[in-house]
């Protein structure tokens, strides 16, 4: 009688003793131990003494690796199956290579199911922040419902990935906890936890922004993210509505013309024919600067872009956010930060208590740089020459707005604002003094968050981004 929580040593010791006693697989009744187990049965189930003529059983590393995985399966028949394979391997050393053998096929299938369950755990665990920060470490709890005994197997992954925070993963098949020094595994089942935190809404915003209705394949999506996990995912309640509206959105996308811009000189001629002249803005104002930038030809980027995307916000704002360059939707609308990255930006600053209407928001580069790909325009990172050409406009914006705090969103903005040669990660989250008596704060661009595919890294980076916005809000108060 075994506890059956995925430990190789427990089964190996029992199998070794039974094999030494010469007991054949059909004579063994393998069972899992429970709290209600009959103690007399446990005493009677002790293996007999080794047979006088017994020889030690030997197996290959491949069998050990297979057994370690299969023992994590929840099927009670796994013990008997492995012992039968062990017994048969003494007669046929190449048994595991026989892909048509019924026992081998069944063991391989169990191992595959365990691997898949472990993968789902690494993908769908959602940590929720609880309690206060202690000694600089944050505390998190997560709830997950695995099919198999994978907590012990998967816990080291979370220890390596989230070593800088205290966490507990509770499941019906045991728990794992990390306190910065020790990883603790417990086999006792846990009761379900219902937890929420402030990042849930950020997750929902992110998921809705990356949902592509043109690529929806419901069966494939449910195979990768089965419905049983939905109830523990903050973004899951959006899925039915997103799927239901996918078909109509695809039709609208197909009917919409490509967002390709007219050649620059054609646009100028069209504007001259169709638009009345605008009244000149007073010199030395943002309005005058915006009108001047509208016909900028300082670098080749103007030729393909739809229009100059200038900054917007109060002319005397105390805080200026500087991004990289406008994207596809910004290029069409003529306004900064209105696309998917802009929506994520709005969500993050709102959660930090920052009112966008009080900010001056602009970009290091004022024209959209892209590569045409069919009907799509794929963003391309501006080079340093293009950044330096556009610094003319950024410097004038700073001189007119006179912000006390400037926030650089990403490496391109950092390069446009300073001569710092350090990596963005090395200066991220730090307030630095720059010329003009101003403070510079550096964080990532929200488009970086939208590009992250790894679920764990995404959660970590979004939490850090939220912390950066809270720190910016604190700096804003301090400089007021």
**Calculated CA dihedral for residues 323, 327, 331, 335, nearest 10 degrees:** -40
Mean pLDDT of the 77-84 span? 94
Name the token pair of 465. Answer: 């981004």
Name the token pair of 111. Answer: 């191992």
Res 197: pLDDT:
66
Closest CA to 364 of 412, 406, 423: 412
Per-residue pLDDT tens over the stretch 426-436: 999 989 999 88
More confident residue, 367 or 4: 367
Per-residue pLDDT tens over the stretch 293-328: 998 888 889 888 999 999 999 999 999 999 999 999
More confident residue, 419 or 339: 339
CA distance 8 to 458: 34
> What confidence category does residue 274 fall into, taking pLDDT thresholds of 50, 70 and 90?
low
Cα atoms in the Cβ-side hemisphere of radius 13 Å centred on 406: 29
Mean pLDDT of the 103-121 span? 95
Mean pLDDT of the 84-93 span? 92
63 CB neighbour count, 10 Å cutoff: 18
> Of 117-126, 132-141, 220-229, which gets the smallest average pLDDT?
220-229
Mean pLDDT of the 328-348 span? 94
Res 164: pLDDT:
83
Res 326: pLDDT:
96
CA distance 387 to 392: 9
pLDDT surpassing 90 at residue 442: yes
For the chain, percent of residues with pLDDT exceeding 70: 80
Res 266: pLDDT:
54
pLDDT surpassing 80 at residue 34: no
Quick check: 30 and 4 in contact, CB under 8 A? no
* The pTM of the whole model exceeds 0.75: no
Q: What three-state secondary structure class fits 24? A: coil
> What confidence category does residue 158 fall into, taking pLDDT thresholds of 50, 70 and 90?
very high
> What confidence category does residue 132 fall into, taking pLDDT thresholds of 50, 70 and 90?
low
> What confidence category does residue 39 fall into, taking pLDDT thresholds of 50, 70 and 90?
very low
Element (H, E) at 13: helix 8-20
For the chain, percent of residues with pLDDT exceeding 90: 52
Res 44: pLDDT:
46
pLDDT averaged over every residue in the chain: 84
Name the token pair of 124. Answer: 């769908």
Q: What three-state secondary structure class fits 372? A: strand
By residue count, the chain amounts to: 480
Closest CA to 460 of 448, 472, 476: 448
pLDDT surpassing 60 at residue 267: no
Cα atoms in the Cβ-side hemisphere of radius 13 Å centred on 283: 0
Give one DSSP letter per residue of 85-121, joined into a string: HHHHHTT-TTGGG-TT-HHHHHHHHHHHHHHHHHHHH
> Of 144-148, 245-249, 324-328, 346-350, which gets the smallest average pLDDT?
245-249
Mean pLDDT of the 264-290 span? 62
> Of 72-76, 196-200, 320-324, 381-385, which gets the smallest average pLDDT?
196-200
Residue 436: partners with Cβ closer than 8 Å, 6 or more residues away: 398
> What confidence category does residue 193 fall into, taking pLDDT thresholds of 50, 70 and 90?
confident
Q: What is the CA radius of gyration of the chain?
A: 31
More confident residue, 392 or 271: 392
CA distance 480 to 472: 12
Instruction: Say which residue the tokens 């892209």 belong to.
Output: 370
> What confidence category does residue 222 fall into, taking pLDDT thresholds of 50, 70 and 90?
low
**Calculated CA dihedral for residues 371, 377, 378, 383, nearest 10 degrees:** 50
Res 272: pLDDT:
47
Mean pLDDT of the 236-256 span? 71
CA distance 275 to 306: 16
CA distance 212 to 215: 6
Closest CA to 379 of 466, 476, 301: 301
> What confidence category does residue 370 fall into, taking pLDDT thresholds of 50, 70 and 90?
very high
Mean pLDDT of the 152-166 span? 91
């Amino acid at each position: 009688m075994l506890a059956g929580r995925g430990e190789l040593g427990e089964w190996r010791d029992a199998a070794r003793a039974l094999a030494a006693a010469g007991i054949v697989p059909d004579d063994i009744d393998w069972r899992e131990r429970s709290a209600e187990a009959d103690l007399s049965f446990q005493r009677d189930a002790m293996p007999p003494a080794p047979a006088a003529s017994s020889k030690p059983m030997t197996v290959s590393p491949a069998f050990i690796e297979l057994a370690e995985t299969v023992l994590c399966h929840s099927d009670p028949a796994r013990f008997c199956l492995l012992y039968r394979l062990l017994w048969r391997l003494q007669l046929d050393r190449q048994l595991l290579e026989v892909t048509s053998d019924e026992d081998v096929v069944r063991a391989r299938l169990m191992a595959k199911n365990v691997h898949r369950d472990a993968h789902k755990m690494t993908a769908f665990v959602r940590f929720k922040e609880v309690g206060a920060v202690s000694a600089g470490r944050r505390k998190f709890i997560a709830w997950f419902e695995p099919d198999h005994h994978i907590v012990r197997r998967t816990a080291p992954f979370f220890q390596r990935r989230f070593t800088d925070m205290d966490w507990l993963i509770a499941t019906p098949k045991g728990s794992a906890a990390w306190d910065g020094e020790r990883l603790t595994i417990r086999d006792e089942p846990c009761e379900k936890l219902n937890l929420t935190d402030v990042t849930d809404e950020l997750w929902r915003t992110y998921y809705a922004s990356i949902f592509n209705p043109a690529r929806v394949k419901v069966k494939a999506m449910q195979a990768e993210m089965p419905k049983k996990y939905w109830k523990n995912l903050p973004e899951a309640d959006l899925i039915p509505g997103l799927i239901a509206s996918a078909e109509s959105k695809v039709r609208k996308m197909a009917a919409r013309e490509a967002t390709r811009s007219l050649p620059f000189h054609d646009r100028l001629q069209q504007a001259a024919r169709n638009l009345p002249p605008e009244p000149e803005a007073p010199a030395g104002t943002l309005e005058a600067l915006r009108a001047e930038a509208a016909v900028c030809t300082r670098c080749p980027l103007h030729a393909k872009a739809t229009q100059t995307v200038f900054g917007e916000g109060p002319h005397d704002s105390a805080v200026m956010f500087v991004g990289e360059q406008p994207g596809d939707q910004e290029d069409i609308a003529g306004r900064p930060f209105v696309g998917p990255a802009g929506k994520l930006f709005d969500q993050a600053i709102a959660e930090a208590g920052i009112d966008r209407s009080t900010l001056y928001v602009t970009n290091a580069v004022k024209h959209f740089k892209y590569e045409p790909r069919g009907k799509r325009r794929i963003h391309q990172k501006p080079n340093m020459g293009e950044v330096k050409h556009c610094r003319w406009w950024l410097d004038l914006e700073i001189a007119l707005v006179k912000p006390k705090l400037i926030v650089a969103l990403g490496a391109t903005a950092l390069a446009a604002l300073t001569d710092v040669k350090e990596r963005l990660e090395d200066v991220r989250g730090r307030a630095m003094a720059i010329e003009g008596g101003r403070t510079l704060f550096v964080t990532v661009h929200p488009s970086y968050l939208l590009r992250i595919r790894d679920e764990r890294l995404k959660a970590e980076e979004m939490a850090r981004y939220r912390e950066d916005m809270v720190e910016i809000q604190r700096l804003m108060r301090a400089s007021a």
